[in-house]
């Protein structure tokens, strides 16, 4: 059997054992890490590293030219997507342990320099380009026509077409991302799923357990105002100490209301700056009073509606807006790490012309998360 390795392709001979009623087995396959296919762990890692940062055609070319790993585009795609799915299962199940826990997330607080542990959780949704059912049907039809043409020319294909995979109902579908990180941003642990929020919740709980999130002295959620996010955090992370709304999302709503009511004027800028300063230093009450005062000056229905929306937005999230307390204790109030992780995990997916099956998109994002979470060395050391 020919096996793809990090040093190129080799011919491998090994003993085969067979027993009536049990079938046959190559015992050596498991020990060298090729029981799942004809590629060694070293070759799979090289191909994954290349396939997760560039398109599969270019990755295959680079694998041959730079790494001396001869593989075609389609074979590389199959290997990388299969390995990415295996990575996702290992991480979600806890078989692959987190690279850090809350015990490593220490921070010095107070004038005495008291040491405690602090871990943040961020959750967000990000859109990924997907292959629609219409595109799937079109591709399937084209493949069938090509096979008929090859058969007519006497060039048959012994293998039947693989079972059709279901396409997406929309051009873009949401991937849900969870992230745990420490105050210094030195430790991160991210995961992804293409499933809905009800499936995301148990995954959030499982990954929280892997990093011992609820054993931290201070457990903090820092997210946007989406209801599904707050709902899953409250249901799955019962011991969470503090929940905060990302300050940037608050500022966006304040800016939008000021622009609608006062236009693009210096007065609008001053009003916005005053409200953001108040909510940081004094809390929500002065902001609500300022909104009500401005509403008395405004007569246009659209402008009054914008102020009502801002007021409703703030009132609905009162429990997430204690910025004076957060700043006094040295907590972050911006969800920059979560936003950055969303961009990092989707860089490969959003290359020009890219379209994905939803499960493959989530698997590729989890493959990237493997490296960003510091678990790659442990995974590949046990991949054999």
The band of 149, judged by pLDDT with boundaries at 50, 70 and 90, is: confident
The band of 37, judged by pLDDT with boundaries at 50, 70 and 90, is: low
The band of 295, judged by pLDDT with boundaries at 50, 70 and 90, is: very high
Is 267 among the domain residues? yes
**Of the candidates 71, 95, 129, which is a domain's last residue?**
71
**Of the candidates 302, 320, 338, which is a domain's last residue?**
320
pTM of the shown model? 0.88
Cβ(10)–Cβ(2) below 8 Å = yes
In 3D space, the residue among 4, 3, 8, 2 whose CA is nearest the CA of residue 66 turns out to be 8
For residue 125, pLDDT over 90 is answered with yes
Is 289 among the domain residues? yes
Q: What is the pLDDT of residue 353?
A: 87
The band of 10, judged by pLDDT with boundaries at 50, 70 and 90, is: low
Per-residue pLDDT tens over the stretch 252-273: 999 999 999 999 999 999 999 9
For residue 110, pLDDT over 80 is answered with no
Higher pLDDT, 11 or 143: 143
For residue 195, pLDDT over 90 is answered with yes
Q: Distance (Å, rounded) from C-alpha 120 to C-alpha 181?
A: 5
Higher pLDDT, 166 or 2: 166
R_g (Cα) of the chain, nearest Å? 26
At 32, list the tokens: 């060298």
Q: How far is CA 381 from CA 86, 182, 366, in A?
A: 14, 26, 18
Cβ(369)–Cβ(188) below 8 Å = no
Is 306 among the domain residues? yes
Cβ(233)–Cβ(321) below 8 Å = no
Q: What is the pLDDT of residue 158?
A: 60
Q: What is the pLDDT of residue 40?
A: 79
For residue 349, pLDDT over 60 is answered with yes
Is 183 among the domain residues? no
Mean pLDDT of 289-315: 95
For residue 247, pLDDT over 60 is answered with yes
Mean pLDDT for all residues in the chain: 89
Q: What is the pLDDT of residue 9?
A: 67
**Of the candidates 71, 101, 116, which is a domain's last residue?**
71
Range of the domain at 292: 248-320
Is 349 among the domain residues? no
DSSP string, 158-176: SSPPPPPPP-BSSSEEEEE
In sequence order, the 6+-apart residues with CB closer than 8 A to the CB of 81 are 360, 363, 364
The band of 136, judged by pLDDT with boundaries at 50, 70 and 90, is: confident
In 3D space, the residue among 154, 145, 198, 152 whose CA is nearest the CA of residue 176 turns out to be 198
For residue 25, pLDDT over 60 is answered with no
Is 347 among the domain residues? no
Higher pLDDT, 16 or 277: 277
Number of domains present in the structure of the chain: 2
The band of 180, judged by pLDDT with boundaries at 50, 70 and 90, is: very high
Per-residue pLDDT tens over the stretch 46-63: 999 999 999 999 999 999
The band of 41, judged by pLDDT with boundaries at 50, 70 and 90, is: confident
For residue 314, pLDDT over 60 is answered with yes
Is 310 among the domain residues? yes
Is 102 among the domain residues? no
Q: How far is CA 62 from CA 13, 57, 320, 351, in A?
A: 28, 9, 49, 17
Number of neighbours of residue 167 by Cβ within 10 angstroms: 19
For residue 92, pLDDT over 90 is answered with yes
């Amino acid at each position: 059997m020919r096996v793809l390795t990090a040093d190129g392709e080799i011919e491998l001979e090994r003993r085969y054992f067979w027993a009536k009623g049990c079938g046959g087995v190559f015992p050596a396959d498991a020990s060298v890490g090729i029981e799942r296919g004809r590629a060694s762990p070293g070759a799979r890692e090289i191909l994954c590293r290349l396939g997760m940062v560039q398109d599969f055609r270019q990755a295959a070319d680079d694998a041959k030219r730079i790494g001396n790993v001869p593989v075609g585009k389609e074979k590389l795609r199959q290997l990388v997507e299969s390995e990415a799915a295996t990575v996702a299962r290992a991480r979600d199940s806890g078989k692959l342990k987190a690279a850090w826990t809350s015990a490593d997330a220490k921070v010095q607080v107070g004038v005495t320099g008291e040491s405690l542990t602090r871990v943040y959780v961020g959750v967000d949704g990000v859109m990924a380009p997907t292959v629609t059912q219409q595109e799937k049907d079109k591709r399937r039809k084209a493949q069938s026509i090509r096979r008929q043409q090859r058969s007519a020319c006497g060039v048959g294909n012994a293998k039947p077409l693989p079972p059709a995979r279901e396409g997406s109902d929309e051009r873009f579908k949401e991937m849900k991302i969870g992230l745990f990180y420490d105050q210094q941003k030195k430790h991160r642990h991210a995961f992804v799923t293409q499933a809905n929020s009800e499936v995301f919740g148990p995954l959030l709980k499982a990954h929280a357990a892997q990093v011992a999130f609820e054993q931290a002295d201070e457990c903090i959620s820092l997210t946007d105002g989406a209801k599904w996010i707050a709902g899953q955090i409250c249901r799955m992370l019962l011991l969470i100490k503090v929940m905060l709304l990302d300050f940037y999302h608050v500022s966006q709503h304040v800016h939008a209301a000021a622009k609608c009511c006062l236009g693009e004027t210096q007065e609008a800028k001053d009003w916005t700056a005053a409200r953001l300063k108040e909510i940081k230093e004094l809390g929500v009450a002065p902001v609500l009073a300022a909104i009500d005062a401005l509403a008395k000056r405004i007569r246009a229905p659209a402008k009054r509606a914008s102020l009502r929306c801002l007021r409703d937005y703030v009132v609905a999230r009162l429990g997430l807006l204690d910025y004076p307390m957060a700043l006094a204790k040295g907590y972050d109030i911006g969800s920059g790490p979560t936003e950055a992780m969303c961009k990092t995990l989707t860089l490969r997916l959003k290359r020009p012309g890219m379209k994905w099956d939803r499960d493959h998109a989530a698997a590729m994002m989890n493959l990237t998360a493997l490296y960003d979470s510091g678990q790659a060395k442990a995974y590949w050391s046990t991949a054999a």
